[in-house]
Structure formats: structure tokens, C-alpha cells
Amino acid sequence: MQQIWAETALTPRGWQRNVLVNVDYSGVITSVEADTKPQGTRAGILLPAPVNLHSHAFQRAMAGLTERRGEDPSDSFWTWRKLMYRFLDHLSPEHVEAITAFVQMEMLEAGYAAVAEFHYLHHQPGGAPYDNPAELSARISAAAATSGIGLTLLPVLYEHGGCDGRALGPGQVRFGNDPQRFGKLWEGAKATLQHLPGDAGIGVAPHSLRAVSQAGLRFAEGLAPDRPIHMHLAEQVAEVEEVEAAWGKRPADWLMSAHNIDARWCLIHCTQMTPDETIRLAQAGAVAGLCPITESSLGDGIFDGLRFAGAGGRFGVGSDSNIRISLAEELRTLEYSQRLQHRGRAMLATPEKSTGRVLHEAACAGGAQAAGRTSGAIASGMYADLVALDAGHIDLAGRSGDTLLDTFIFAGHSSMVSDVWAAGRHMVRGGRHVAREAITSAYAKATARLMDII
């Protein structure tokens, strides 16, 4: 039995003092008691740690490489994508594992306890499968074993280059599978999780309505009927126009009309939806997977957060392109986008809860649902996915209640994070990952070789 004691903690009963959390050998919380004496591992401010619900791990090594204007004077998501395709042509399995372990380490140090990895890089440069079709899925799992992060692996089905069924381009051939081959790859990816702790899980991810056929989407949806299904949806105007021209409806409208969208689904981005689509998605019980830093970087647009939240919608956040790993900044950018859109302040706050409290609790609940993970609250029966903030940090000193979260999200950064547990695994201590030196060294070697050839 592991014991974690906090001066103050945010539990389903609200903020409580002198809280003792008991955790069993499998990483599950067995009891939570307030007004106790200090014992076990001590923390200052204890919070549930959310899941990073959308990541493309390998893109971390591209951070800072795409900020020059391309040949197209109207540089956009689509020109960025060309640069990404050129980059990934050079990635080896060893690169993928080292980069993934590094970004997972950064996620833990930022306050995330788990990640849903939207994994679409499957094959060798040129498109030929590896001898083990799930080779790169195995590398993602190996990285999670090194970093200790909680992993929901989401192998991605990617069939063609657009709604017209055109062949995959040079940058996309490493992604491509027909449903039959993908089914075998998915089974192999699932097998890689056997070497991880019991909190690891799998889902499935048909990439987008641009990249899968209607038959492929049905196949992916049926692979694991009780597990999460993630999909990019309505991210860019050009995407919406392409789907509408080919399929007769806008992406969100078509998907919600043709499929039973429910709590199993996580739809990523959703920055190009009509008010009606926004309300329908909220009422369906699906999670909107928001990636505010990446959506800002790529000029995707602003999610209709006020309307969605007002209709009872569930959302979480993810780091997507991984150009910046910061839980605080992801939540801050989400709120600030709503303020810019509506020209107001504290847009997502409620009369009972501050902006920071609403954002953090929503990210915890939405991320857990999206990952199919029993987490998101400091409560019995939940995995001990926990993040502790340093109560001695100068900006947190003397503050209490919701103001602690407001300060972390709107005035703070990852340096406020002192400790993180992923299903009870104490992976961040004193603000540093327990294997930081080894993980960073492997990443530095991998990226040095990449910079030499790109």
C-alpha cells in the first residue's frame, strides 16, 4: 500500500485539507481521507492529473522547424503538412522510440499522467511494412515502459489521400493500410501492451473522413466495440469543403447522421462546425478533443466552446503536434480563444467554480473518457493519476481553493509541478522525471542524427 498525504487536495467533495490517499499495488486508489496526520509521501497541493488525449509523438522533434514561410505566399496547414511529410521520411524505429520517450517525459513533467497516442506512422520509408507490421507501435509501447506514462494506444487507419480515393502521396505511404492489413496491424499493436502495466489500453482511430472510406470507417468502428474511437473532424475549411462536395454533407453532420456517435467517441479539433452541429455533438455525449496550442499554430480556427459547454458538452485537451508541452498553457489558450472570440473575460467560469477549476475538471473528466481510463478524480476506485503543485512556489504562497488552479493556469507554468503519479507510479519528483538524464541523452543522440540529414 502506497500512501500520499497532501496539505490540500481537490476531491469530488471539493477542496479538502490534510488529505491521505491510499493506493494499492495496481495503482488504484483504495481510500481518500481528510483531516489526517502527515504520513507517507508528502505533497503540497494535490490534484487529479488529466490525460493528454491527442498526441503525434514523433512531431516533437519538428518543434521550431516550421516557422519560416514556405514557397506558397498563403502559408497554411497544408504547406506545414508538406514539411511534416518530408521530415518523417527520415525517421527510423530507433528515432521514434527515443522521441516518444522524451515527449512522454515532458508530458509527465507538465502535469499529465497519461496520453492517448494517435499513432499513424506504421511503415518503412517508401511504404513497405516492417517484418513486424506493428514495429512502430511496439516502439511507442517501449517508450511508455521507459517513461512510465499511462498509455492508450490508438493505431490509425489511413487508406487514401482524399475523398476521391486518390493514391497516397510520397509523404503518406508510411501511413497507409487497407482494412484487412490494418486489422492485423491492430492486433499486433494490442499485443505490444502486454509488456506494460495493467492501466495501458488500446483504442482505434480512423484518421479522418478524408483518409478513410465509408467501409473502412465501419471496419475500424467494429474492431473494439468497447474501446475508444478517435477521429480528426472538421479541422480546416478546405477539409469541410472537400467532404461536403464528395459526401453531400459537412463532416460533423455526415458523421452524426451516419453513425451512432456516443460516449465512446472522441472527435479531434472540431473548429469548423455550425452552431447546430456543435449542439448535436454536445448532446451525443462524445468528447471534443481540443488542442489549442496546435490549433493556434496551424491557424485552424476557434472551437465554439461556450455553445458546446452550455449544451453540456464534454471536452479534454491534447498536445497534438507537440511543439509545446504545457498543460497550463493548453488550458490557458483554450480560455483565451473564447475571450478573443466573445470579447469578454472568465468565459468558461460558472457562478460556483472559477475558470481554472472548470477547465481543469473538464480536462480530467473528458481526457479519462476519451482514453477509456478509469481516472480523472481523487476518489476510491480510480487510478492514482495525480499531480502535485509546489505549495512553496512564490506565486502560490498564501493562496487557496480555486485560486490555486487559476494561478497555475493563468500565471504559472510547468515549474509549479513538483510530483506526478501515473497509476501510482511516482514518475516526477521535485519537478524532474526520475529518468530524465537517460531519456534526454537518447533523444539528443537521435535528433542530432536527424538534423544532419534533413
- Residues labelled as active-site residues: 269, 320
Q: Tell me how far apart the 2 most distant CA atoms of the chain are, in Å.
A: 65
Helices (H), 288-353: 292-297, 305-310, 327-342
Determine contact, residues 66/322, Cβ cutoff 8 Å. no
**DSSP output for 245-294:** HHHSS-HHHHHHHHS---TTEEEEE--S--HHHHHHHHHHTPEEEE-HHH
Number of H helices, E strands in the chain: 14, 17
Determine the Cα angle at 107 with ends 190 and 1, to 5°: 75
Other residues' Cβ atoms within 10 Å of the Cβ of residue 181: 14
- CA distance linking residue 306 with residue 411, whole number of Å: 22
- CA distance linking residue 85 with residue 171, whole number of Å: 4
Q: Name the DSSP letter for residue 142.
A: H
